[in-house]
Amino acid sequence: MDFALTANQESIRDAVAKTCARFDDAYWLKKDKEGGYPSDFHRALADAGWLGICIPEEYGGSGLGIMDAAIMMHTIARSGAGMSGASAVHMNVFGLNPVVVFGTKEQCERMLPPIVSGEHRSCFAVTEPNTGLNTTQLKTRAVRSGDKYIVNGQKVWISTAQVAEKILLLARTTPLEEVQSPTHGLSLFYTDFDRSRISAREIEKMGRKAVDSNELFITDFEIPVADRLGEEGRGFEYILHGMNPERILIAAEAVGLGQLALSRAAAYAKERNVFNRPIGKNQAIQHPLAENWMELEAAWLMTLKAAWQYDEGQACGPAANAAKYLAGEAGFHACEQAVMTHGGFGYAKEFHVERYLRESLIPRIAPISPQLILSFIAEKVLGLPKSY
Protein backbone atom coordinates (compact mmCIF):
# COMPACT_ATOMS: atom_id res chain seq x y z
CA MET A 1 0.00 0.00 0.00
CA ASP A 2 1.57 3.25 -1.17
CA PHE A 3 -0.02 6.62 -0.47
CA ALA A 4 2.53 8.65 -2.43
CA LEU A 5 1.86 10.10 -5.89
CA THR A 6 3.88 8.53 -8.66
CA ALA A 7 6.52 10.56 -10.49
CA ASN A 8 4.12 10.94 -13.42
CA GLN A 9 1.32 12.15 -11.15
CA GLU A 10 3.64 14.68 -9.54
CA SER A 11 4.55 15.87 -13.04
CA ILE A 12 0.86 16.30 -13.88
CA ARG A 13 0.30 18.31 -10.70
CA ASP A 14 3.31 20.54 -11.28
CA ALA A 15 2.64 21.13 -14.98
CA VAL A 16 -1.03 22.00 -14.41
CA ALA A 17 -0.07 24.30 -11.54
CA LYS A 18 2.41 26.07 -13.82
CA THR A 19 -0.30 26.72 -16.41
CA CYS A 20 -2.75 27.91 -13.76
CA ALA A 21 -0.17 30.27 -12.26
CA ARG A 22 -0.58 32.49 -15.33
CA PHE A 23 -4.11 33.30 -14.08
CA ASP A 24 -3.76 35.09 -10.77
CA ASP A 25 -6.17 36.27 -8.07
CA ALA A 26 -6.84 39.50 -9.96
CA TYR A 27 -7.93 37.51 -13.02
CA TRP A 28 -10.46 35.41 -11.09
CA LEU A 29 -11.69 38.40 -9.05
CA LYS A 30 -12.43 40.23 -12.30
CA LYS A 31 -14.21 37.17 -13.71
CA ASP A 32 -16.28 36.92 -10.55
CA LYS A 33 -17.31 40.57 -10.82
CA GLU A 34 -17.90 40.83 -14.55
CA GLY A 35 -18.65 37.28 -15.66
CA GLY A 36 -17.72 36.02 -19.08
CA TYR A 37 -16.42 32.55 -19.85
CA PRO A 38 -12.66 32.24 -19.14
CA SER A 39 -11.81 31.39 -22.75
CA ASP A 40 -8.12 32.21 -22.37
CA PHE A 41 -7.87 29.86 -19.39
CA HIS A 42 -9.63 27.11 -21.35
CA ARG A 43 -7.32 27.74 -24.31
CA ALA A 44 -4.20 27.60 -22.15
CA LEU A 45 -5.17 24.17 -20.79
CA ALA A 46 -6.09 22.97 -24.29
CA ASP A 47 -2.77 24.14 -25.72
CA ALA A 48 -0.95 22.35 -22.91
CA GLY A 49 -2.82 19.14 -23.81
CA TRP A 50 -4.82 18.75 -20.60
CA LEU A 51 -8.38 18.71 -21.94
CA GLY A 52 -7.98 15.20 -23.30
CA ILE A 53 -6.44 13.69 -20.19
CA CYS A 54 -8.91 10.77 -20.12
CA ILE A 55 -9.51 10.45 -23.87
CA PRO A 56 -7.65 7.61 -25.64
CA GLU A 57 -4.41 8.50 -27.38
CA GLU A 58 -5.72 7.35 -30.77
CA TYR A 59 -8.19 10.27 -30.65
CA GLY A 60 -5.65 12.87 -29.58
CA GLY A 61 -5.91 12.47 -25.82
CA SER A 62 -3.49 11.28 -23.15
CA GLY A 63 -5.29 8.04 -22.29
CA LEU A 64 -4.78 8.51 -18.58
CA GLY A 65 -7.10 7.51 -15.74
CA ILE A 66 -9.56 9.19 -13.44
CA MET A 67 -6.88 9.27 -10.74
CA ASP A 68 -4.75 11.50 -12.98
CA ALA A 69 -7.79 13.61 -13.89
CA ALA A 70 -8.65 14.03 -10.20
CA ILE A 71 -5.13 15.28 -9.51
CA MET A 72 -5.49 17.75 -12.37
CA MET A 73 -8.87 19.09 -11.22
CA HIS A 74 -7.70 19.28 -7.61
CA THR A 75 -4.71 21.34 -8.75
CA ILE A 76 -6.86 23.69 -10.82
CA ALA A 77 -9.23 24.42 -7.94
CA ARG A 78 -6.40 24.82 -5.43
CA SER A 79 -4.48 27.20 -7.69
CA GLY A 80 -6.85 30.06 -6.94
CA ALA A 81 -9.19 29.30 -9.84
CA GLY A 82 -11.62 27.56 -7.51
CA MET A 83 -14.84 26.27 -9.03
CA SER A 84 -14.78 29.00 -11.68
CA GLY A 85 -11.68 27.46 -13.24
CA ALA A 86 -12.59 23.85 -12.55
CA SER A 87 -16.10 24.16 -13.99
CA ALA A 88 -14.75 25.77 -17.15
CA VAL A 89 -13.08 22.48 -18.12
CA HIS A 90 -14.90 19.92 -15.96
CA MET A 91 -17.29 18.72 -18.68
CA ASN A 92 -14.46 18.11 -21.12
CA VAL A 93 -12.74 15.72 -18.71
CA PHE A 94 -15.47 13.25 -17.83
CA GLY A 95 -18.50 14.24 -19.92
CA LEU A 96 -17.62 12.48 -23.16
CA ASN A 97 -16.92 9.16 -21.50
CA PRO A 98 -20.14 7.76 -23.11
CA VAL A 99 -18.68 8.60 -26.53
CA VAL A 100 -15.44 6.79 -25.67
CA VAL A 101 -17.23 3.73 -24.28
CA PHE A 102 -20.33 3.47 -26.49
CA GLY A 103 -19.55 5.51 -29.59
CA THR A 104 -18.60 3.91 -32.89
CA LYS A 105 -15.09 4.39 -34.23
CA GLU A 106 -16.45 6.92 -36.71
CA GLN A 107 -18.16 8.85 -33.89
CA CYS A 108 -15.01 8.84 -31.74
CA GLU A 109 -12.88 10.07 -34.62
CA ARG A 110 -15.39 12.82 -35.38
CA MET A 111 -16.39 13.88 -31.87
CA LEU A 112 -13.35 13.56 -29.62
CA PRO A 113 -10.39 15.36 -31.26
CA PRO A 114 -12.17 18.78 -31.36
CA ILE A 115 -12.79 18.52 -27.61
CA VAL A 116 -9.14 17.67 -26.95
CA SER A 117 -7.90 20.57 -29.07
CA GLY A 118 -10.31 23.04 -27.47
CA GLU A 119 -12.03 23.71 -30.79
CA HIS A 120 -15.33 22.47 -29.35
CA ARG A 121 -16.85 23.04 -25.94
CA SER A 122 -19.73 20.89 -24.80
CA CYS A 123 -22.59 21.17 -22.33
CA PHE A 124 -24.35 18.25 -20.62
CA ALA A 125 -28.15 18.49 -20.79
CA VAL A 126 -29.91 16.02 -18.49
CA THR A 127 -31.64 17.84 -15.61
CA GLU A 128 -35.16 19.20 -16.13
CA PRO A 129 -37.22 21.74 -14.14
CA ASN A 130 -39.78 19.28 -12.77
CA THR A 131 -37.77 16.07 -12.37
CA GLY A 132 -34.65 17.05 -10.41
CA LEU A 133 -32.56 13.98 -9.65
CA ASN A 134 -35.36 11.61 -10.75
CA THR A 135 -33.82 11.19 -14.20
CA THR A 136 -36.14 8.39 -15.31
CA GLN A 137 -39.04 10.87 -15.34
CA LEU A 138 -37.54 13.17 -17.99
CA LYS A 139 -40.14 14.83 -20.20
CA THR A 140 -37.98 16.00 -23.11
CA ARG A 141 -39.02 13.91 -26.13
CA ALA A 142 -37.04 12.85 -29.16
CA VAL A 143 -39.27 11.43 -31.92
CA ARG A 144 -37.61 9.67 -34.82
CA SER A 145 -38.48 10.85 -38.32
CA GLY A 146 -36.49 9.04 -40.99
CA ASP A 147 -32.79 9.68 -40.51
CA LYS A 148 -33.26 12.27 -37.76
CA TYR A 149 -34.92 12.87 -34.41
CA ILE A 150 -37.14 15.85 -33.59
CA VAL A 151 -36.61 17.01 -30.01
CA ASN A 152 -38.86 19.20 -27.85
CA GLY A 153 -38.58 19.97 -24.16
CA GLN A 154 -36.77 21.87 -21.43
CA LYS A 155 -33.55 21.46 -19.47
CA VAL A 156 -32.25 23.41 -16.48
CA TRP A 157 -28.94 24.08 -14.73
CA ILE A 158 -26.99 23.44 -17.89
CA SER A 159 -23.47 24.83 -17.54
CA THR A 160 -21.58 26.55 -20.39
CA ALA A 161 -24.61 26.53 -22.71
CA GLN A 162 -23.89 30.16 -23.62
CA VAL A 163 -20.57 29.21 -25.22
CA ALA A 164 -20.93 25.52 -26.13
CA GLU A 165 -20.64 24.35 -29.71
CA LYS A 166 -21.88 20.86 -28.80
CA ILE A 167 -24.51 19.34 -26.53
CA LEU A 168 -24.68 15.92 -24.87
CA LEU A 169 -28.43 15.45 -24.54
CA LEU A 170 -30.55 12.82 -22.81
CA ALA A 171 -34.14 12.58 -24.05
CA ARG A 172 -37.00 10.09 -23.95
CA THR A 173 -37.48 8.25 -27.24
CA THR A 174 -40.15 5.87 -25.93
CA PRO A 175 -42.99 7.23 -23.74
CA LEU A 176 -42.76 6.25 -20.09
CA GLU A 177 -46.07 4.41 -20.21
CA GLU A 178 -44.79 2.15 -23.00
CA VAL A 179 -41.65 0.82 -21.30
CA GLN A 180 -41.28 -2.06 -18.87
CA SER A 181 -38.89 -0.14 -16.64
CA PRO A 182 -38.58 3.64 -16.13
CA THR A 183 -34.87 3.36 -16.93
CA HIS A 184 -35.73 2.16 -20.46
CA GLY A 185 -36.63 4.35 -23.41
CA LEU A 186 -34.13 7.15 -22.82
CA SER A 187 -31.57 7.86 -25.55
CA LEU A 188 -28.31 9.79 -25.53
CA PHE A 189 -27.15 12.15 -28.27
CA TYR A 190 -24.01 14.19 -28.91
CA THR A 191 -24.64 16.79 -31.54
CA ASP A 192 -24.32 20.42 -32.64
CA PHE A 193 -25.86 23.07 -30.38
CA ASP A 194 -28.35 24.64 -32.77
CA ARG A 195 -29.17 28.07 -31.34
CA SER A 196 -31.98 28.57 -33.82
CA ARG A 197 -33.82 25.70 -32.08
CA ILE A 198 -32.41 25.90 -28.54
CA SER A 199 -32.89 29.03 -26.46
CA ALA A 200 -30.40 29.27 -23.58
CA ARG A 201 -31.49 31.66 -20.82
CA GLU A 202 -28.79 32.32 -18.27
CA ILE A 203 -29.67 31.91 -14.58
CA GLU A 204 -28.34 34.62 -12.25
CA LYS A 205 -26.77 32.83 -9.32
CA MET A 206 -24.79 33.22 -6.12
CA GLY A 207 -21.31 32.39 -7.39
CA ARG A 208 -19.17 31.13 -10.27
CA LYS A 209 -20.31 33.96 -12.52
CA ALA A 210 -17.58 33.15 -15.04
CA VAL A 211 -19.25 29.84 -15.93
CA ASP A 212 -22.85 30.29 -17.01
CA SER A 213 -25.77 28.15 -15.85
CA ASN A 214 -28.86 28.05 -18.02
CA GLU A 215 -32.39 26.92 -18.66
CA LEU A 216 -32.81 25.51 -22.17
CA PHE A 217 -36.00 25.68 -24.21
CA ILE A 218 -35.85 23.19 -27.08
CA THR A 219 -38.24 23.50 -30.02
CA ASP A 220 -38.28 21.15 -33.03
CA PHE A 221 -34.54 20.56 -32.65
CA GLU A 222 -33.31 18.13 -35.34
CA ILE A 223 -30.62 15.61 -34.45
CA PRO A 224 -29.20 13.21 -37.07
CA VAL A 225 -29.50 9.52 -36.19
CA ALA A 226 -25.74 9.39 -36.75
CA ASP A 227 -25.35 11.52 -33.59
CA ARG A 228 -27.14 9.03 -31.33
CA LEU A 229 -24.74 7.19 -29.03
CA GLY A 230 -25.26 3.44 -28.85
CA GLU A 231 -28.69 1.85 -29.06
CA GLU A 232 -31.96 3.71 -28.87
CA GLY A 233 -33.53 3.47 -25.43
CA ARG A 234 -30.33 2.69 -23.49
CA GLY A 235 -29.22 6.24 -22.75
CA PHE A 236 -29.84 6.02 -19.00
CA GLU A 237 -27.50 3.05 -18.81
CA TYR A 238 -24.88 4.98 -20.76
CA ILE A 239 -24.86 8.08 -18.58
CA LEU A 240 -24.37 5.92 -15.48
CA HIS A 241 -20.84 5.26 -16.74
CA GLY A 242 -20.07 8.95 -16.29
CA MET A 243 -21.71 9.48 -12.91
CA ASN A 244 -19.03 7.93 -10.69
CA PRO A 245 -16.16 9.74 -12.46
CA GLU A 246 -18.09 12.99 -12.12
CA ARG A 247 -18.53 12.50 -8.39
CA ILE A 248 -14.81 11.76 -8.03
CA LEU A 249 -13.78 14.87 -9.96
CA ILE A 250 -16.23 17.09 -8.08
CA ALA A 251 -14.78 15.72 -4.83
CA ALA A 252 -11.25 16.52 -5.99
CA GLU A 253 -12.31 20.07 -6.85
CA ALA A 254 -14.04 20.54 -3.49
CA VAL A 255 -10.93 19.42 -1.63
CA GLY A 256 -8.76 21.72 -3.72
CA LEU A 257 -11.04 24.68 -3.05
CA GLY A 258 -11.13 23.90 0.67
CA GLN A 259 -7.35 23.63 0.85
CA LEU A 260 -7.03 26.93 -1.00
CA ALA A 261 -9.29 28.62 1.54
CA LEU A 262 -7.46 26.98 4.45
CA SER A 263 -4.09 28.18 3.18
CA ARG A 264 -5.39 31.75 2.92
CA ALA A 265 -6.86 31.56 6.43
CA ALA A 266 -3.66 30.20 7.97
CA ALA A 267 -1.54 32.85 6.24
CA TYR A 268 -3.85 35.62 7.45
CA ALA A 269 -3.86 34.23 11.01
CA LYS A 270 -0.06 34.45 11.09
CA GLU A 271 0.13 38.09 9.98
CA ARG A 272 -2.99 39.65 11.52
CA ASN A 273 -2.15 41.18 14.92
CA VAL A 274 -4.83 42.02 17.49
CA PHE A 275 -4.06 42.87 21.14
CA ASN A 276 -0.34 42.89 20.24
CA ARG A 277 -0.24 39.26 19.12
CA PRO A 278 -1.01 37.31 15.94
CA ILE A 279 -4.54 35.93 16.04
CA GLY A 280 -3.12 32.55 14.96
CA LYS A 281 -1.69 32.22 18.46
CA ASN A 282 -5.21 31.82 19.82
CA GLN A 283 -6.55 28.29 20.08
CA ALA A 284 -9.99 29.56 19.10
CA ILE A 285 -8.43 30.30 15.71
CA GLN A 286 -6.08 27.33 15.58
CA HIS A 287 -8.43 24.51 16.45
CA PRO A 288 -11.12 25.05 13.78
CA LEU A 289 -8.43 25.35 11.10
CA ALA A 290 -6.74 22.17 12.36
CA GLU A 291 -10.10 20.38 12.13
CA ASN A 292 -10.51 21.69 8.57
CA TRP A 293 -7.09 20.27 7.64
CA MET A 294 -7.98 16.83 8.99
CA GLU A 295 -11.39 16.78 7.29
CA LEU A 296 -9.88 17.76 3.95
CA GLU A 297 -7.10 15.18 4.20
CA ALA A 298 -9.63 12.43 4.96
CA ALA A 299 -11.82 13.50 2.05
CA TRP A 300 -8.81 13.54 -0.29
CA LEU A 301 -7.87 10.00 0.71
CA MET A 302 -11.41 8.81 -0.01
CA THR A 303 -11.30 10.60 -3.35
CA LEU A 304 -8.06 8.88 -4.31
CA LYS A 305 -9.46 5.53 -3.20
CA ALA A 306 -12.57 5.98 -5.37
CA ALA A 307 -10.43 7.03 -8.34
CA TRP A 308 -8.16 4.01 -7.88
CA GLN A 309 -11.15 1.67 -7.72
CA TYR A 310 -12.58 3.16 -10.92
CA ASP A 311 -9.30 2.88 -12.79
CA GLU A 312 -8.88 -0.71 -11.59
CA GLY A 313 -12.33 -1.65 -12.89
CA GLN A 314 -13.68 -2.27 -9.39
CA ALA A 315 -17.12 -1.27 -8.13
CA CYS A 316 -16.62 2.28 -6.90
CA GLY A 317 -20.16 3.58 -6.34
CA PRO A 318 -19.99 3.74 -2.52
CA ALA A 319 -16.49 5.23 -2.49
CA ALA A 320 -17.30 7.77 -5.22
CA ASN A 321 -20.43 8.94 -3.43
CA ALA A 322 -18.69 8.98 -0.06
CA ALA A 323 -15.84 11.03 -1.53
CA LYS A 324 -18.26 13.55 -2.99
CA TYR A 325 -20.13 13.83 0.32
CA LEU A 326 -17.04 14.13 2.53
CA ALA A 327 -15.28 16.55 0.18
CA GLY A 328 -18.37 18.71 -0.25
CA GLU A 329 -18.79 19.06 3.50
CA ALA A 330 -15.08 19.50 4.26
CA GLY A 331 -14.65 22.05 1.49
CA PHE A 332 -17.63 24.07 2.70
CA HIS A 333 -16.48 24.03 6.32
CA ALA A 334 -12.98 25.15 5.36
CA CYS A 335 -14.29 28.01 3.23
CA GLU A 336 -16.69 29.09 5.96
CA GLN A 337 -13.90 29.05 8.54
CA ALA A 338 -11.64 31.04 6.22
CA VAL A 339 -14.19 33.84 6.18
CA MET A 340 -14.58 33.71 9.96
CA THR A 341 -10.81 33.74 10.45
CA HIS A 342 -10.56 36.92 8.39
CA GLY A 343 -13.34 38.51 10.45
CA GLY A 344 -14.78 41.58 8.77
CA PHE A 345 -12.17 41.41 6.02
CA GLY A 346 -13.48 37.97 5.12
CA TYR A 347 -16.58 39.77 3.85
CA ALA A 348 -14.47 41.90 1.50
CA LYS A 349 -14.02 40.69 -2.06
CA GLU A 350 -10.37 41.76 -2.18
CA PHE A 351 -9.45 38.97 0.25
CA HIS A 352 -11.10 36.35 -2.02
CA VAL A 353 -12.34 34.00 0.71
CA GLU A 354 -15.95 35.18 0.42
CA ARG A 355 -15.83 34.00 -3.23
CA TYR A 356 -14.52 30.63 -2.13
CA LEU A 357 -17.41 30.29 0.34
CA ARG A 358 -19.98 31.07 -2.34
CA GLU A 359 -18.37 28.60 -4.74
CA SER A 360 -18.08 25.88 -2.09
CA LEU A 361 -21.84 25.40 -2.17
CA ILE A 362 -21.63 24.08 -5.73
CA PRO A 363 -19.90 20.76 -4.94
CA ARG A 364 -21.97 20.47 -1.80
CA ILE A 365 -25.24 20.59 -3.76
CA ALA A 366 -24.34 19.22 -7.20
CA PRO A 367 -24.48 16.89 -9.00
CA ILE A 368 -26.27 15.03 -6.22
CA SER A 369 -27.47 16.26 -2.85
CA PRO A 370 -25.75 15.10 0.35
CA GLN A 371 -29.07 13.71 1.56
CA LEU A 372 -29.45 11.44 -1.45
CA ILE A 373 -25.90 10.19 -0.97
CA LEU A 374 -26.75 9.28 2.63
CA SER A 375 -29.81 7.41 1.37
CA PHE A 376 -27.68 5.60 -1.22
CA ILE A 377 -25.09 4.51 1.36
CA ALA A 378 -27.81 3.41 3.77
CA GLU A 379 -29.47 1.25 1.11
CA LYS A 380 -26.55 -0.04 -0.99
CA VAL A 381 -23.89 -0.42 1.70
CA LEU A 382 -25.81 -0.98 4.94
CA GLY A 383 -28.66 -2.96 3.38
CA LEU A 384 -31.41 -0.76 4.80
CA PRO A 385 -34.78 -0.39 3.02
CA LYS A 386 -34.95 2.10 0.16
CA SER A 387 -36.24 5.40 1.52
CA TYR A 388 -37.11 7.36 -1.62
What whole-number percentage of the chain has pLDDT above 90? 94
Examine the domain organization and report whether 251 and 376 are in the same domain. Answer: yes
- H or E, element range at 234: none
Examine the domain organization and report whether 172 and 147 are in the same domain. Answer: yes
CA-CA distance, 215 to 199, in Å (whole number)?
A: 8
Examine the domain organization and report whether 251 and 224 are in the same domain. Answer: no
Examine the domain organization and report whether 111 and 179 are in the same domain. Answer: no
Last residue in a domain, options 63, 82, 117? 117
Examine the domain organization and report whether 69 and 152 are in the same domain. Answer: no
Q: Which residues pair with 218 in a beta bridge?
A: 153, 198
Last residue in a domain, options 99, 117, 135? 117
Examine the domain organization and report whether 210 and 277 are in the same domain. Answer: no
Last residue in a domain, options 209, 236, 263? 236
Instruction: Say yes or no to pLDDT of 131 above 90.
Output: no
DSSP string, 52-72: TTTS-GGGTS----HHHHHHH
pLDDT tier at 92, thresholds 50, 70, 90: confident
Instruction: Say yes or no to pLDDT of 230 above 90.
Output: yes
288: CATH: 1.20.140.10
CA-CA distance, 370 to 326, in Å (whole number)?
A: 9
Question: Is 72 among the domain residues?
Answer: yes
Which pLDDT belongs to residue 337? 98
Question: Is 387 among the domain residues?
Answer: no
The counts of H helices and E strands in the chain are: 12, 10
CA-CA distance, 207 to 212, in Å (whole number)?
A: 10
Q: What is the mean pLDDT of residues 65-78?
A: 97
Question: Is 68 among the domain residues?
Answer: yes
151: containing domain: 122-236
3-class DSSP string for 162-228: CCCCEEEEEEECCCHHHCCCCCCCEEEEEEECCCCCEEEEECCCCCCCCCCEEEEEEEEEEEEHHHE
pLDDT tens digits for range 140-195: 999 999 999 999 999 999 999 999 999 999 999 999 999 999 999 999 999 999 99
pLDDT tier at 265, thresholds 50, 70, 90: very high
User: One-letter amino acid identity for 286?
Assistant: Q
Examine the domain organization and report whether 280 and 337 are in the same domain. Answer: yes
Peptide bond into 224 cis (omega under 30): no
The domain total for the chain is 3
Which pLDDT belongs to residue 388? 85
Question: Is 2 among the domain residues?
Answer: no
Question: Is 269 among the domain residues?
Answer: yes
What does pLDDT average to over the chain? 96
Q: Which residues pair with 156 in a beta bridge?
A: 215
